[in-house]
Amino acid sequence: MTSKTDEALSYEQARDELIEVVRRLEAGGTTLEESLALWERGEELAKVCRRWLEGARARLDAALAEEEDAG
């Protein structure tokens, strides 16, 4: 479930936190429960990043279509 704080994250904030989650998982030394919680958090952060990137793609496509129509 996405929290309201996830909705307020910028792409850069979500990406940076996701990088930290991956580092912690790769480093090991966490319990199974901690690893699962990190994995779930990583999934949510990846969704936030994906939404930002999809929005950016839509804006770029709209700008290109506008330019094409004008030209």
pLDDT of residue 2: 53
pLDDT of residue 4: 55
The stretches in the chain having pLDDT less than 70 are 1-4
Q: Describe the crossing of helices 32-70 and 11-27 by its angle, rounded to 10 degrees.
A: 150
**Domain-wise residue ranges, the chain:** 9-70
Give the CATH fold of the 9-70 domain: Helix Hairpins (1.10.287)
Contact 46, 21 (CB under 8 A): no
The H or E element spanning position 7 is helix 4-8
CB neighbours of 24 closer than 8 A, spacing ≥ 6?
30, 38
Give this prediction's pTM.
0.81
